[in-house]
Structure 1
Amino acid sequence: MRFQLTARTGHPDFLDLPWNEPLAEWTSPRLVEMPMGIHRHVVRTVRYDDRLYHLKELPRRFADREWRFLRHLRAEGVPVVDVVGVVSRREALDGSPLEAVLITEHLEFSVPYRLLFLRQEHQRIREPMIDALVHLLVRIHLQGFLWGDCSLSNTLFRRDAGRLSAYVVDTETGELYQDLSAGQRRMDVELAIEKCGGELMDLQAAGVLSTAIDPFDLGLELEERYHALWAELTRDELFSDDERYRIADRLRRINELGYDVEELELVQDHHRSDLTRMVLKTSVLEPGRYRRLLRQLTGLDVQEHQARRLLNDMHNFGAWLQAEEGHSLPESLIAHRWMQQSFEPIVALVPEDLHGKREPAELFHEVIDHWHHLSELKGADAGLFDAARSYVETVLRFEPEERRVSPAEADDELVDLVPDALVAFDEEADEV
C-alpha cells in the first residue's frame, strides 16, 4: 500500500485505514455515521477513542489548497474547522491512482443549519444566523480571502451565549490575496445570497419552512448588514480639531464588535486644512479581547460572547465578594474564587448523561439566564445553585444532544418536529 501522509502532531497516525481503496468503498470498523451537509465530494467519518475525524476525497491540488488555506485562516484567528492532515499519492491494489483525502477534526457542539431550523422557529434563529454569517464573511475578507463558496452547508454553527458563531468548513474554491477589491467582496456576498437562498428553498421543499417565507429575504438582509459592518470597520472618517473624541468612540465601537485596530493613521485632509482624516487598518486577533482576558484569568478557552458573559458574572461575583470581605481584592484572586465557588460547582451539577447537550460555557450562560428568570418570578433571589438544579431538571434534560448529532437522531427530529415547526412558521409568516 502506497500513500503520502502529511499531518500535524497530537492526532492519530491513521495508518490502520484502507488508503488503497476509494473512500466510498470503505468498510473499516472505525467508520461512524454523522449528518453532513451537501458535498460535491465523498465525505466519511472515523472514530479514534473519543475523537471524530472527517475525511473528504478530492483531487490533490484542491486538497493541498484547502490544507493550506484552512491552516492560514486558523493562524489568522478566523473560526475554521481544525485541519489535521492530507493523504496524497494514493494507489489502489491494481496500481491505479486514487484521489487525495483531506482530514479535519469534528467540531464538537456544532449544529448543522438544517437542525437549527428544525429545533427553533424561523424568527428565533434568523437574527443570530445572519449575524454569524456576516461576521464570518467580514473576518475572512479582512484577511484577503475570497471564499467563493459561502453557504449554509459549508458553515457550521455553535451556540455562543444565546447567539451563534459560524465556522468555515470548506475552502477548496477559495483564493488568497493581499487585499480584496470591492468587486471581489461584492461577488462573494452575492454568491452567498444565491447559495443560502437555494438551501432555504430546499428546506421549504422538505416541509421544514413555510412556503409563505421568502428564502432570499435572509440573503438580502445578510448583504445589508455585511456592508454596514464592513463600513464600520474600514471606512475613513473626517473630523475637526474639536471632535477628537470621535476617535475613542470609533475604537470603542470596533472593540465591542470583537475586532481590534491594528493600525491607526491620522492625516490632514487634502481639501480642507481644518479637517483630519482617520485611516484605520482593522485586524482580527484570535482569541478576541474578551476571550484573551478570560483565558488569562481562568484558563478557560471559550467563544467571544460566552467570554463576555462569563466575565460579567465574574465581575458581579467580585463585587459581592469584596463587599462581603470589606476590602478590595486583585482580579486574579477574584477569578480564582469565582472558578472555585461558582463556575466549576455549577458545571459539576450536570449529570454525566447530559454532558453532550451543552458545552460548559454555554451551560453556565443558560443557568444564569434561568436564575434571573426564576428570581423575577419569585420577586427575590432564587439562589444560583437552586436555579442550576431547576435548569438541569426542567430545561436541559429535555434538550436534544448537540455534542455529536447522528443521522438517525436528525431523521427522528424531522418526523417529530416538522408539524410543530410548520405551525410556528405559519403563525409568524406575516411578520417576516
Structure 2
Amino acid sequence: LISRYLDYSVPYRSLFVRPDLDTYREHLLDAMASLLVQLHFSGIFWGDCSLSNALFRQDAGRLQAYLVDAETSESHESLSEGMRDHELEIMEENISGSLADLAAAGELPADFPVFETGASIRERYLRLWNEINQAEKIAADQKYRIQERIRKLNALGFSVDEVLLRPVDGGDQLQFRVMVTDRHFHRHLLQGLTGLEAEEQQAQRLINEIQETRAGLSQTQNRSTPLSVAGQQWLSDTYRPLVQQLQDAEIGSYSPLEIYCLMLEHKWYLSEAAQQDVGHHKALESFLAQVLPQRLSQVSDP
C-alpha cells in the first residue's frame, strides 16, 4: 500500500458548497469522465467509482480528479466493453446516492440535477473514449493526416505511444489508429523543460508562455532558439520572480502554479480590453488588488 498526501486537493463536498457551483460542476463532470478514461485505457477497473473516492485539484481554472481508494480495483491487460459498462453503472449509482445525501442535507440547490449527473459523466466518458479509440481511413498519399490526428490528441493532453497503420481496400486506402499512453503530454513537456510539476491545463498555459519567450528570443537574436533555452529563461526571468511576489501575498490554499495561471488569465482579459499586451507586472498589480481578494473571500478552501 502506497499512500501520500495530495497537496492542494479538496473533496467533492468542498466544491459543491462553493457559491460558484455551476462553473465547478461542469469541470467536476469532465474531470471524473477523464479519470475513468485514463484508468480504463490503462486496464484498471476501479470497481467503486464515486465522488467520495476521488479528490480534486484545481488546474488553471478547471479540475483534475484523482482516485484515492483503490481497494476494489483490478488490473487487467485490457478492459472489455462489458467491464467498462459495468464500471459506468456503478459510477452512476454511487454518484446519485452521494448527491441525494447532499440534497437531503440541504447542501444543494433545489433544482440541482441529482439523478442526471451520473448520466452526464457517462456521456462525456463515451465521447472522450470514442475520440481516442477511433480508427480512421485515409488515402495512401494523405499520411500528413496522421500528424494532424496526433496534434489533435496532444491538444487534448494525450501522449502518443505509436501509430498502427495497415493498407485496406486493396492498398488504395490506409487505416490508422493512434495509441495513447496517458493524458499528461504537456505536463511531461513542461517538467522536462523546467522541472516544474503541473497539472495538464496549467502546463498547457505555461508552455504557451515559453513559446512566446522563444519567439521573442529568436526575433531579438535573429536566429532560432531551442525551446529548452527559452524554458530556462522564462523560468528564471518571468515565472520565479512573479511567483515570489504572489507568494508574498496571502494566496490561501491555492497552489503557486494555480495562482500564477489565474494571474495569466487576468492578464489576457486586461490585454483584450486595452487592445495591447499590458505586461506581467501591470497584470500582477491588478490581480493582487482586484481579483485575488474576491477569490479568497468566496470560500476558505478553493
Q: Tell me the percent identity.
A: 37
d(CA) in 2 for partners of 1:335, 1:213: 44
Structure 2 counterpart of 1:206: 105
Residues 11 and 52, structure 2, Cα contact 8 Å, conserved in 1: yes
Mapped contact 1:147–1:174 kept (Cα < 8 A)? yes
Query: Could you tell me how far 1:280 is from its partner in structure 2?
Result: 4.2
The DSSP-based 3-state class of the residue aligned with 1:150 is: coil
2:44–2:74: 8 Å Cα contact kept in structure 1?
yes
Q: Does 1:340 align with 2:239?
A: no
Deviations 1:77-106 (A, max 9, x none): xxxxxx2xxxxxxxxxxxxxxxxxxxx222
CA distance in 1, matches of 2:104, 2:170: 58
Deviation at 1:262? 2.4
For 1:253-295, what per-residue CA distance to the aligned partner results, in whole angstroms no more than 9, with x for missing partners? 22222223323222234x765443324433227xx22122212
Match for residue 254 of structure 2?
Answer: 358
Structure 2 length-normalised TM: 0.89
* Offset, 1:168: 0.6
Find the partner of 2:269 among 358, 361, 373. 373
Alignment of 1:16-415 (within 5 A): 67=1, 83=2, 104-269=3-168, 274-284=172-182, 288-324=184-220, 327-352=223-248, 354-400=250-296
Partners of 2:246 and 2:178 lie apart in 1 by 46
Superimposed CA distance per residue, residues 340-364 of structure 1 (whole angstroms, 9 cap, x where no aligned partner): 2211111111254625432121111
CA RMSD of aligned residues (A): 2.7
Q: Please say which of residues 144-153 and 273-282 is displaced more in the overlay.
A: 273-282
**How far 1:242 moved relative to its partner?**
4.8
Aligned-residue offset at 1:400: 4.2
Counterparts of 1:236 and 1:381, CA distance in 2: 42
Contact 1:161 1:362 in 2 (8 A): yes
Q: Specify whether residues 351 and 145 from structure 1 end up closer, same or farther in structure 2 by C-alpha distance, changes over 3 A only.
A: closer
Q: Supply the distance in 2 between the matched residues of 1:353 and 1:161 (Cα, whole angstroms).
A: 19
Rate the CA distance shift 1:312–1:261 in 2: closer, same or farther, 3 A. closer
Does structure 2 conserve the Cα–Cα contact (< 8 Å) formed by 1:349 and 1:389?
Answer: no
Counterpart Cα distance in 2 of 1:334 and 1:264:
30
Q: Which has the larger radius of gyration?
A: 1
- TM-superposed CA distance for 1:163, in Å, is 1.2
Q: Give me the whole-angstrom Cα distance separating, in 2, the residues matched to 1:246 and 1:383.
A: 37
**1:144 Cα deviation from its structure 2 partner:** 1.0
Shift of 1:187: 0.7
Q: How much does 1:154 deviate?
A: 0.7
Question: Structure 1 residues 332 and 178 mapped into 2: Cα distance closer, same or farther (>3 Å)?
Answer: closer
Q: Give TM-score, length-normalised by structure 1.
A: 0.64
* Higher strand content, 1 or 2: 1
Deviations 1:48-88 (A, max 9, x none): xxxxxxxxxxxxxxxxxxx2xxxxxxxxxxxxxxx2xxxxx
Q: Residues 345, 276 of structure 1: CA spacing in aligned structure 2 closer, same or farther, 3 A cutoff?
A: same
Whichever structure has more helix as a proportion of its residues is 2
SS in 2 for 1:350: helix
